[in-house]
């Protein structure tokens, strides 16, 4: 019987691969989750493309991005982004940093990203803009120092998505599935907004619509529906677990999954 | 020998998956069909991404979106869209609601969607625009109340496609195949129109051209040709029935399919 | 040993499928070739999506689009496009009619398509624009009457590509491979031109550059190199011949192919 | 045990195929590497699409693009591009020439390509623009004469990427992996810049940011991470070595690869 930590590792691996398969991270970008029982720790992969991450690659870190167990593995240079957000936001249990082609134009042009359709509101009603240059001058644009991480976390504030000038975006979620949902539909929103802007007019959601639809779509029902879809797409494309795990693990997983499905069934509409 | 209801279930599953594979629905959106012998009922999937829908997921509903048989399954929140259109339009036998990236920019910018090439006319010569805000103020933007469904059906009127502000589109068809045809080529039309608009000039079809080409391409010949193409693409990509059905069902289906092909052959040009 | 007609059938099937796989035709559009020994005939598929065309679907027609042998098959409505061009242009041995998303914006906005890079010049230095409305008023926009076909052929003149208002394009080639080359790179040129136009300036090839580079890239060397690439992509994607032919035919074909490769090797640079 | 030349051949084949799979070269374009022990020679494929290149296709040339061993194979017409750059730039060990749809709009509109995000800086802080017309008047736009190659190499100067008017781009790298990195992220930068430009404002990296982030991402850690990702994508898609090599070679390669992985592990962050 898998314990909570094993289940979280498995889910975090799938999140890494879904976000690759949906075109949001590539060789770079990373995804993390807070430890399921120790809120002072989080898990993130060693230095690998998210597409290649396997359960054994997920290492534990303290919130100041020190490995709990000494490791010889090369590590991501920007893990402090994750730690700083977990430290500032107790409600956040998963974080993704990416350079998606959907949001980059906004980071470069300085255009404000606003919710333009109901699902897009999942990125949050307000998306702040952070410019590393403001506080730190010329850098590699990577967020590597503790004070850079804290500055970014402050910019994020109580929102769910923050744009980073000429760099990318960082997204937070109350769970791994919520994080993936907010990330994918935030990027979809960016694409739609860009195309509408080209047509000369962007009518954004009213404040009420943004709050209502954002809350509605991040309930368990819609999030499960979306996760099941992304996972099916990923598996069909051979993205998981073919490359990563032995067949026996795969069979067990499939059994577990089926029993989850049965439990999940309810009569609510969503 | 499969009966009419079984055949319709099978066709509706394929429609769900074709519309996913062609990039029109994703985790969200849904496709329904009117019951083949009882016009007061329609079939739509339980709460699942269209990509995952299997024949057993298709449940029967009355036109006010009550399940004919009590069910413990979670249901789509917006099934009323379908029921309201079937109630208002006896000629409609299939409905799709989607948030395609092709039409969303039009829903956000408020640009009128007009037929710009012969196949695009299959979406209908006129595409009305519905704004939920007008009658219902701030909502989640989801169409969940009977009066919201009726309002949308009124906006659709005698047309085949209606745009929904900052939300998506709803398309109707006289059959499942016609629905899929109108949906796919309506989205293609939107993409072409957007790109032409960027070049500074959109010359739309004349009223005569729109009517003539719209009628021409929704005859059985062109619709079968398109359906066969989309189904081939879907099957090659492993989208159906690999994930959903046992091999024996697949073999039977293939046999049935072949005999259909023979029957379909005629000497007409289309 | 396959004769000239069998070889042409095989090549025409591959051309149909390459043009689908490269995103130029979809359920609609068609590709034909002049008969290898009787210039008064041409071969084109019965009414099927190009993706589904198999050698047995290719029927022979006279240049006024009458089937040489009576057939019960449904036929393409626009075959007259092909016949009219073969009648007007003895140097043309293959024709493609398509509604590619790359060229449609030009057909809708009326923007002139001009060679903007060396490979794009393969579409011809000049691409005329034909408007069916001018001579024939409101129609379905399909080219179905002999006089419509002749009008289009006149518009094509001595060029290789003609745009058709709110409809698509028709491309001619001196061989099947030349046709595919002109078609694919004409579409690539359209995409590049559109994107450059968005940036505010399109510098087209000089007349000398267009003529020189257009001739250069339609020599056998470059055309074989491109055909081999497109065919490899097609085969890897399972597009041919998996769906269409028994394994033995495939093995024979592979043997023939290998011997061709040996023959083709030369020391020329291209 | 493979020697340095065999290893380079293998890596160059993979580079050819990665650059195809990432959509940067198609039937045309080519990739070369300087000989590992003789700086006066380089290796480039015979006249084939990069997608089809196998180790045996890689021939040795002197820097004036003469084959070291006489060959009956057809050769690329533009090999002089590579030789001229190796002659002018002792620090360059790999070169790619391409016509990517990402950069072509810049070559056509004359828009300057500038670094707009940290990874994009890998193309170099400055991207010069070369116009063959300036010195050579009307040509096929192909770079085939020694003096054309030398002119292009002069335009490249000490930079890593040069745009070629209405033709494409040429990229240099200190190693094959660095070349692939600079090429892929230069194209990504072009796409991001184009989309930001459409929004009305392009804020480029400061000079300091461009230098710092360009140096940072071309260190071994990030380059390995990216290469591993692109290679995984390529292999999963069946792009290598399925078409090209016997299974035994594949197994050996896999063994070698694993031992490399172990060696590569370190505790540095990148």
Best of D51, D105, D131, D192 to substitute, by most chain C Cβ atoms within 10 angstroms, is D105
Residue with tokens 């923050």: A162
For residues B242 and D54, the model is more confident at: D54
Q: Which of D71, D144, D239 lies nearest to residue C267, judging by beta carbons? A: D71
* Residue range D155-168, pLDDT digits in tens: 999 999 999 999 99
pLDDT confidence band for C241 (50 / 70 / 90)? confident
- pLDDT(C118) > 80: yes
For residues D241 and D242, the model is more confident at: D241
Calculate how close chain B gets to C54, using CA atoms only, in Å. 13
Which residues of C fall within a CB distance of 8 Å from D194? 195, 198-199
Distance CA C129, CA D255 (A): 59
| CB proximity under 8 Å: D 225-264 to C | 237-239, 243
* Residues paired with residue B34 on neighbouring β-strands, in sequence order: B42
Best of A23, A27, A133 to substitute, by most chain D Cβ atoms within 10 angstroms, is A27
Q: Which of A75, A140, A197 lies nearest to residue D118, judging by beta carbons? A: A140
Which residues of A fall within a CB distance of 8 Å from B111? 199-201
Q: Which of B202, B206, B225 lies nearest to residue C47, judging by beta carbons? A: B225
Residues D192 and A101 sit within 8 Å (Cβ to Cβ): yes
Calculate how close chain D gets to A253, using CA atoms only, in Å. 22
* Most distant pair of Cα atoms in chain C: their distance: 56
Mean pLDDT across B170-197: 98
CB contact under 8 A, B141 and A221: no
- pLDDT(D66) > 90: yes
Chains touching chain A, criterion 3+ CB pairs below 8 Å: B, D
Sheet strands (E) in B138-270: 161-164, 168-173
Put simply, whether D179 touches A (Cβ < 8 Å) is no
pLDDT confidence band for A97 (50 / 70 / 90)? very high
Calculate how close chain D gets to A193, using CA atoms only, in Å. 11
Residues D234 and D240 sit within 8 Å (Cβ to Cβ): yes
Calculate how close chain B gets to A135, using CA atoms only, in Å. 36
pLDDT confidence band for C248 (50 / 70 / 90)? very low
> Would you tell me how many other CB atoms lie within 10 Å of the CB of residue B110?
18
* Residue range C257-267, pLDDT digits in tens: 444 443 333 33
Instruction: Answer positive or negative: Cα dihedral of B38, B40, B43, B46.
Output: negative
Calculate how close chain B gets to C229, using CA atoms only, in Å. 21
Chains touching chain B, criterion 3+ CB pairs below 8 Å: A, C
**Pure H helices in A48-174:** 80-88, 104-109, 132-136, 146-156
Which residues of D fall within a CB distance of 8 Å from A109? 196-197, 199-203
Contacting residues for D48 by C-beta, under 8 A, at least 6 apart: C225, C228, D57
Residues A52 and A93 sit within 8 Å (Cβ to Cβ): no
Put simply, whether D198 touches C (Cβ < 8 Å) is yes
| CB proximity under 8 Å: A 41-60 to D | 47-49, 51-52
> Would you tell me how many other CB atoms lie within 10 Å of the CB of residue C8?
23
Q: Can you tell me the ipTM of this complex?
A: 0.90
- pLDDT(C152) > 90: yes
Residues D176 and D8 sit within 8 Å (Cβ to Cβ): yes
**Residue C40: what pLDDT?**
98
**Residue C242: what pLDDT?**
52
Calculate how close chain D gets to C231, using CA atoms only, in Å. 11
Which residues of D fall within a CB distance of 8 Å from A133? 206, 209
Contacting residues for B67 by C-beta, under 8 A, at least 6 apart: B59, B60, B61, B75
Mean pLDDT across C106-111: 98
CB contact under 8 A, B168 and A117: yes
**Residue D241: what pLDDT?**
73
CB contact under 8 A, A108 and D269: no
Distance CA D165, CA B137 (A): 54
C-alpha pair distances (Å), B123 with each of A210, B175, B178, C109, C256: 30, 14, 10, 20, 47
| Mean pLDDT (chain A, rounded) | 91
| Mean pLDDT (chain D, rounded) | 91
Side-chain half-sphere exposure of B236, counting CA atoms within 13 A: 20
For residues C122 and B269, the model is more confident at: C122
Side-chain half-sphere exposure of B201, counting CA atoms within 13 A: 10
> How many beta-carbon contacts under 8 Å exist across A and D?
132
Q: Which of D144, D197, D243 lies nearest to residue C199, judging by beta carbons? A: D197
Q: Which of A118, A201, A233 lies nearest to residue B140, judging by beta carbons? A: A118
Which residues of D fall within a CB distance of 8 Å from A235? none
Mapped onto helix, strand or coil, the DSSP state of residue A205 is coil
- pLDDT(A112) > 90: yes
- The values of phi and psi at residue B169, to 5°, are -145, 155
Q: Residue C168: which of B119, B220, B182 has the closest Cα?
A: B119
Residues A9 and A58 sit within 8 Å (Cβ to Cβ): yes
Distance CA A63, CA B122 (A): 57
* Residue range B92-149, pLDDT digits in tens: 999 999 999 999 999 999 999 999 999 999 999 999 999 999 999 999 999 999 999 9
Best of A22, A199, A202, A266 to substitute, by most chain B Cβ atoms within 10 angstroms, is A199
Q: Which of C48, C108, C194 lies nearest to residue B225, judging by beta carbons? A: C48
Among residues B10, B78, B178, B231, the one annotated as catalytic is B78
pTM over 0.80: yes
Q: What angle is formed at CA C222 by the lines to CA C216 and CA C225, rounded to 5 degrees? A: 175
**Residue D270: what pLDDT?**
47
Which residues of D fall within a CB distance of 8 Å from A194? 195, 198-199
Residue in chain B closest to C21 (alpha carbons) equals: B233
Q: Which of C27, C71, C108 lies nearest to residue B116, judging by beta carbons? A: C108
Q: Residue C195: which of A158, D23, D7, A198 has the closest Cα?
A: A198
Which residues of A fall within a CB distance of 8 Å from D269? 47, 74-77, 79, 144
- pLDDT(A16) > 50: yes
Residues D232 and A238 sit within 8 Å (Cβ to Cβ): no
pLDDT confidence band for B1 (50 / 70 / 90)? low
Contacting residues for C220 by C-beta, under 8 A, at least 6 apart: C270
Which residues of D fall within a CB distance of 8 Å from A108? 116-117, 192-193, 196, 201-203
**Residue B265: what pLDDT?**
36
- pLDDT(D129) > 60: yes
Mean pLDDT across A212-239: 96
* Most distant pair of Cα atoms in chain D: their distance: 56
C-alpha pair distances (Å), D111 with each of A110, C192, D97, D101: 20, 13, 19, 14
Residues A55 and A10 sit within 8 Å (Cβ to Cβ): yes
Mean pLDDT across B209-231: 97
Task: Give me the active site residues of A, please.
Answer: 78
Put simply, whether A195 touches D (Cβ < 8 Å) is no
* Residue range D39-60, pLDDT digits in tens: 999 999 999 999 999 999 999 9
pLDDT confidence band for A210 (50 / 70 / 90)? very high
Active site residue C78: yes
**Residue B264: what pLDDT?**
38
Which residues of C fall within a CB distance of 8 Å from D197? 199
Residues D76 and D44 sit within 8 Å (Cβ to Cβ): yes
- The values of phi and psi at residue A56, to 5°, are -70, -15
| Mean pLDDT (chain B, rounded) | 91
Residues A86 and A98 sit within 8 Å (Cβ to Cβ): no
């Amino acid at each position: 019987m898998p314990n909570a930590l094993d289940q979280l590792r498995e889910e975090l691996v799938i999140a890494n691969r879904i976000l690759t398969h949906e075109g949001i991270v590539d060789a770079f970008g990373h995804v993390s989750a807070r430890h399921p029982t120790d809120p002072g720790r989080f898990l993130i992969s060693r230095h690998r493309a998210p597409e290649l991450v396997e359960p054994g690659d997920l290492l534990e870190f303290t919130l100041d991005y020190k490995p709990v167990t000494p490791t010889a593995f090369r590590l991501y240079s920007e893990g402090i982004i994750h730690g700083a957000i977990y430290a500032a936001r107790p409600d956040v249990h998963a974080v993704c940093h990416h350079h998606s082609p959907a949001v980059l134009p906004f980071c470069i042009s300085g255009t404000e990203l606003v919710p333009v359709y109901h699902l897009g509101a999942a990125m949050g009603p307000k998306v702040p803009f952070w410019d590393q240059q403001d506080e730190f001058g010329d850098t590699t644009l990577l967020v590597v120092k503790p004070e850079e991480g804290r500055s970014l976390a402050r910019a994020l504030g109580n929102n769910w998505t923050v744009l980073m000038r000429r760099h990318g975006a960082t997204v937070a979620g109350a769970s791994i599935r919520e994080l993936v949902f907010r990330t994918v539909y935030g990027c979809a929103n960016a694409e739609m907004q860009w195309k509408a802007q080209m047509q000369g007019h962007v009518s954004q959601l009213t404040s009420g619509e943004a709050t209502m639809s954002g809350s509605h779509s991040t309930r368990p029902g819609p999030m499960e529906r979306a996760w099941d879809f992304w996972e099916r797409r990923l598996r069909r494309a051979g993205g998981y677990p073919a490359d990563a795990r032995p067949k026996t693990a795969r069979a067990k997983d499939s059994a577990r999954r089926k029993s989850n499905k049965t439990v999940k069934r309810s009569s609510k509409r969503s």
